[in-house]
Amino acid sequence: MRKYPKAPPLLAAVDCIIFGFDGQKLNLLVVKRRLAPEKGKWSLMGGFVKQKENLDQAAARVLKEMTGLDGVYMEQLYSFGDPKRDPEARTISIAYFALIDSTQYEAQLTHEFQAEWFPLKKVPKLIFDHDTMVKAARKQLQYKAH
């Protein structure tokens, strides 16, 4: 593989923002992070893009691996690239979001990563810039609802 000698090292990741409506309230699905930094804290479902997958495939894979949810239609929201967003490495994250009927997916939900639904008004503090991502997704969801 040819390399670009002057290009800085950079990682690409995806983060999945899944809103769920249970018939009464809007909730957000989050997981407990299993690696450092921020191990054990609440997080969106996220992971690095693999060499041979596109962004949509990466988002679907990450969501399925971390929650068991499969076949969820997600839209690309925005790219987050603050140089200090990840303290370990320069990482650009492409955020995806979805609104699902959470009751339809309850049987698929796995708890390996302690996936849990929180009412939007009671979402715990999330790692890195994930709170900012959720705000942007809420704004886009409201825009689409109008």
Q: Domains in the chain, start-ordered, CATH in brackets?
A: 12-145 (3.90.79.10)
Which pLDDT score, from 0 to 100, does residue 75 have? Answer: 98
pTM of the model: 0.95
In the chain, what is the greatest distance between 2 CA atoms, to the nearest angstrom? 55
Q: Which residue has the tokens 């979805």?
A: 98
Give 127's contacts (C-beta < 8 A, 6+ positions apart): 33, 38, 41, 42, 43
What's the CA gap between 90 and 137, in Å, rounded?
23
Which pLDDT score, from 0 to 100, does residue 59 have? Answer: 98
Cα 85 to Cα 40, 81, 82: the distances in Å are: 18, 7, 5
Number of Cα atoms under 13 Å in the Cβ half of residue 40 = 0
Which pLDDT score, from 0 to 100, does residue 2 have? Answer: 66
Which pLDDT score, from 0 to 100, does residue 130 have? Answer: 98
pLDDT less than 70: residues of the chain: 1-2
- Token pair in block for residue 59: 């988002």
Q: Give, for 43, the enclosing helix (H) or strand (E).
A: strand 42-43
